[in-house]
Amino acid sequence: MTFNGHFFAKAFKFISSYEAKIASVITKDIEPTEIAADTVATSLDPAAVPLVDAGYAVLGELASVLTLGGEATAAKLTDAGLDLKVINLVKGMIPKVQGVVAIAKTL
């Protein structure tokens, strides 16, 4: 399995859309972000959904870059101005997402 940006974007979106089935394996730092984003976007304006999809895509690409590039890439992203807290949040989510996807495939 290739853990590229497309994989992570689809995984984050999958997790949010099937939250009820896999809630037992999603930790509190993943769940609120994706579920709340979709709920707010569709409640306020259905046209906002592409913005949420763009957010998943960016999150997926960032997860992919951090997975493939390791600490050197994280350092370069920090040098480029990306908040270290964001980098660490995404790095912490990566193994959880990979695990959730593996479990979800069995559902």
Q: What is the pLDDT of residue 78?
A: 92
pLDDT digits (tens, 9 = 90+) for 80-102: 988 898 899 889 888 888 887 77
Please answer whether residues 60 and 5 qualify as being in contact, where contact means their C-beta atoms are separated by less than 8 angstroms: yes
Asked whether the predicted pLDDT for residue 105 surpasses 80, the reply is no
d(CA 18, CA 22): 7
pTM of the predicted model over 0.75: no
Amino acid 42: pLDDT: 60
Q: What is the pLDDT of residue 35?
A: 62
Q: What share of the chain is helix, strand, coil (3-state, %, to 5)?
A: 85, 0, 15
What are the structural domain ranges in the chain? 5-104
pLDDT in tens, 26-72: 445 555 566 666 665 566 555 556 767 788 888 888 998 998 898 99
What is the structure's pLDDT at 95? 86
Q: Tell whether the model's pLDDT for residue 9 goes beyond 90.
A: no
